[in-house]
Structure 1
Amino acid sequence: MADSYDVIVLGSGPGGYVAAIRAAQLGLKTAIVERELLGGICLNWGCIPTKALLRSAEIFHHMQHAKDYGLAAEKITADLDAVVKRSRGVAKQLNQGVTHLMKKNKIAVHMGTGTLTGKGRLSVKDADGKTTELSAKHIIVATGARARELPFAKADGKRIWTYRHAMTPSEMPTKLLVMGSGAIGIEFASFYNDMGADVTVVEMLDRIVPVEDEAVSAFLEKQLKKQGMTIRTGAGVESIDVTAKGVTAKIKGKDGKVETAEFSHVISAVGIVPNTEEIGLEKLGVKTERGFIQIDDYGRTGVAGIWAIGDCVPGPWLAHKASHEGVTAAESIAKELGNKDVHPHGLDRNNIPGCTYCHPQIASVGMTEAKAKEAGYEVKVGMFPFIGNGKAIALGEPEGFTKTVFDAKTGELLGAHMVGAEVTEMIQGYVVGKTLETTEAELIQTIFPHPTISESMHESVLAAYGRAVHI
């Protein structure tokens, strides 16, 4: 007899475990299936442990520049093993936290590999080969994604790394090649650069962090080069040969010329592949495109009773987007099961913030200036440099800016783009504003505390309307 539930969640990442908790809060009998570690990639191998690594690198960077603050620090060294050990400790603590949350919310946890075997049915095969049959009125697929590998650059964990290898390195790279300049590539490039490696970033498109506003990309490239990185845009790695001492890469530049360069290690950060193979989707008729499960704004697939969220569905592939999708799906299921007190809202992709934790940080929400113009908007754009902000100067972090994009006709905030110290903590102000459908009028009338870097947010809005005070 199969164990029966209202909801089964396949995958326990930031989408899956949040969906399970919300379902349980709504009184639904809930189970979660996880093949590796509770918390998924984000808590164990992604968002959180990488931020722990980056925090260590940031402190190391500040220690090396202690004299800029009137301080003295001599014979500064970095212990990579200790840095990694701290990062793994942070991940372990959060994994244990999710375990506690499952118990607190009375969610049944089934460890093993889950496969959809029919409508409302799922089998779980554990590490010992034992199979447990489960059934549910609704199943949420939250199986996430993995690093995409290039055919000529298969990760071996020694010389060619994915993000997982880069998080637990067996040795410190001396000369590092990073393929791809999205968030993952740039964060690891920033970490290893701060830790002392000679870093080269290769990006096929014409600018780094290509999803960001062009002004942010240009500024970040300038700052990373100032920190000693080599940045090659409009370039591609054509081949990689692993040798006993390192890696030989052939890189084709903008001019079409192919150059050979030697590196100690390579990090491949060229995108993701959804974990949707061999889990039974085809048998049930669930539609996918390039492996990503197709859903509506509430997480429904085209098959009744099957839902999907997170990195296995169309992007952006961000933990907070997955969590939001999880809540929306759980509430939608509760509503379908008769709960009249829940009122789920479909996902608005225009209000999903993005954060990259390199040095300096990047944060954004909504349309870039170029995208707004492409969409037919007449825009008003404001920019305010951190060099005009007292708190940024006092912190010794005057490099950065805030940029805002408004609809010139209505005053609607279309997008906000920030680069500099602590911008990942500040972007939420603009996200709240966009969610509340704010215009420039409300933002101009908002009082920002002094002295804070957040004042640059206010000044950027003022600048869009010719009213900036401090520039």
Structure 2
Amino acid sequence: MSQAEHFDTVILGSGQGGKLLAWHLARSGQKVAVVERRWVGGSCPAVACLPSKNELWSARIAHLARNAAHFGTVTGPVKTDMTKVRARKQDMIDREIAFHLNTYKKSGAELIMGSGRFVAAKTIEVTLNHGGTRRVTGREMVINVGSHAAIPSIPGLGTVRALTHIEALELDYLPAHLIVLGGGYVGIEMAQAYRRFGSRVTIIEPGPPAHGQGGSRRRRRNVSHLDR
């Protein structure tokens, strides 16, 4: 069992709130540790807000190029290179990681990469990503673990290796047909982006019944008419 290391504040999770708190406290003179399992800076710069907007912008450029004639610019056939779309997105993520690591270093807060779990009062054992364990205690403990995509309980869904937004943003090819389960803002973002890239897209939304009909049912909507 590793010997416990003592900090003024230990933060479990490096998302938006946790990292800003860590940097502020460390700059104020506290000894601070942040335990993060996977994404430096949290999900926003790694797999959510910023990467999705990066690909949405690439999709907008495809849309503008495809519709350039409306503005008086004549172009040839438009084709999306998803390998380059993904590379552009990854380049932005790499810059964000470098920024976060540099900010941790400058603030004095320690970033510990590994999976943490409470093993005693105000005590977290961290299984380090590169091997081994560390045990940290804090006068104050902050939980900032965020959320994850929910996978619906649909028979057969597991066998088809369905994607969440995380895997969708890693695609380096253009799906011929993308089916989006759920018409929330993330689903609509992905639907519009891939339609603009050139995929056929169908959204299946378990929303309220149409035209006052009773009962509940899933509503299917093809989005081939969305702006391309």
Cα gap change, 1:154/1:40 in structure 2, threshold over 3 Å: closer, same or farther?
A: farther
* SS of match in other structure, 1:63: helix
Distance 1:144 1:69 in 2: 44
**What letter matches 1:23 in structure 2?**
L
Distance 1:19 1:49 in 2: 23
Deviation at 1:27?
2.7
Match of 2:185 in 1: 183
CA offsets per residue over residues 214-261 of structure 1, 9 Å max, x none?
Answer: xxxxxxxxxxxxxxxxxxxx642xxxxxxxxxxxxxxxx59xxxxxxx
Structure with larger RCO (C-alpha < 8 A, sep 6+): 2
The normalised TM-score by structure 2 is 0.85
Distance 2:113 2:130 in 1: 11
Deviation at 1:24?
1.9
Match of 1:134 in 2: 136
Structure 2: gaps spanning 5 or more residues: 210-215, 221-225
**What letter matches 1:95 in structure 2?**
I
Cα gap change, 1:62/1:106 in structure 2, threshold over 3 Å: closer, same or farther?
A: same
Deviation at 1:37?
2.6
Residue 54 (structure 2) pairs with residue 52 (structure 1): yes
Tell me if the contact between 2:115 and 2:128 (Cα under 8 Å) persists in the aligned partners. Answer: yes
Tell me if the contact between 2:37 and 2:113 (Cα under 8 Å) persists in the aligned partners. Answer: yes
Match of 2:167 in 1: 165
Match of 1:29 in 2: 31
Deviation at 1:122?
1.2
CA offsets per residue over residues 405-449 of structure 1, 9 Å max, x none?
Answer: xxxxxxxxxxxxxxxxxxxxxxxxxxxxxxxxxxxxxxxxxxxxx
Distance 2:86 2:24 in 1: 33
Cα gap change, 1:150/1:98 in structure 2, threshold over 3 Å: closer, same or farther?
A: same
Distance 1:110 1:127 in 2: 9
Cα gap change, 1:203/1:78 in structure 2, threshold over 3 Å: closer, same or farther?
A: same
Deviation at 1:95?
1.2
How many pairs are equivalent? 214
* SS of match in other structure, 1:15: helix
Cα gap change, 1:51/1:16 in structure 2, threshold over 3 Å: closer, same or farther?
A: same
Tell me if the contact between 1:50 and 1:167 (Cα under 8 Å) persists in the aligned partners. Answer: yes
CA offsets per residue over residues 256-286 of structure 1, 9 Å max, x none?
Answer: xxxxxxxxxxxxxxxxxxxxxxxxxxxxxxx
Distance 1:147 1:170 in 2: 21
Residue 153 (structure 2) pairs with residue 151 (structure 1): yes
Cα gap change, 1:170/1:80 in structure 2, threshold over 3 Å: closer, same or farther?
A: closer
Distance 1:38 1:10 in 2: 12
Deviation at 1:161?
1.0
Deviation at 1:159?
5.2
Distance 2:157 2:34 in 1: 32
CA offsets per residue over residues 66-90 of structure 1, 9 Å max, x none?
Answer: 1222222223221011101111111
Bigger Rg, which one? 1
Distance 1:101 1:170 in 2: 31
Match of 2:40 in 1: 38
Deviation at 1:25?
3.2
* SS of match in other structure, 1:192: helix
Moved segments of 4+, more than 6 Å: none
* SS of match in other structure, 1:19: helix
**What letter matches 2:82 in structure 1?**
L
Deviation at 1:180?
0.6
